[in-house]
Amino acid sequence: MLLASRITAALALSAIVAGAVGVARADGNAARGKDLAYTCLGCHAVENYKNVYPTYSVPKLTGQNAAYIAAALHGYQSGDRSHGTMHAHAASLSDQDIDDIAAFLGSEPLKQTGKAPDAGVPQAAQVCVACHGVDGVAVLPDYPSLAGQHADYIERALEEYRKGARKNPIMAGFVSTLSAADIKTVAAYYSSQSPGLETVARRASRFSAR
pLDDT number for residue 174: 94
Q: Whole-number mean pLDDT of the chain?
A: 88
* CB-based contact 105:200 (threshold 8 Å): yes
Q: Partners of 51 in the beta sheet?
A: 56
CA 165 from chain centre, in angstroms, equals: 16
Concatenate the DSSP letters of all residues of 103-121 into one string.
Answer: HHHTSS---------TT--
Instruction: Output the CA–CA distances (angstroms, integers) from residue 105 to 13, 63, 163, in the order listed.
Output: 26, 8, 28
User: pLDDT tens digit string along 120-146?
Assistant: 999 999 999 999 999 999 999 999 999
C-beta neighbour count of 23 within 10 angstroms? 8
* CB-based contact 79:160 (threshold 8 Å): no
Q: Partners of 57 in the beta sheet?
A: 50
pLDDT surpasses 50 at 1: no
* CB-based contact 14:140 (threshold 8 Å): yes
Higher pLDDT, 53 or 62: 62
* CB-based contact 105:61 (threshold 8 Å): yes
Q: Domain spanning 26-191 has what CATH number? A: 1.10.760.10
Length of the chain, in residues: 210
166 phi, psi to nearest 5 deg: -115, 125
End-to-end CA distance of the chain: 59
198 phi, psi to nearest 5 deg: -135, 160
C-beta neighbour count of 196 within 10 angstroms? 20
pLDDT range class, residue 203, cuts 50, 70, 90: low
pTM of the entire predicted model: 0.86
Domain boundary assignment for the chain:
26-191
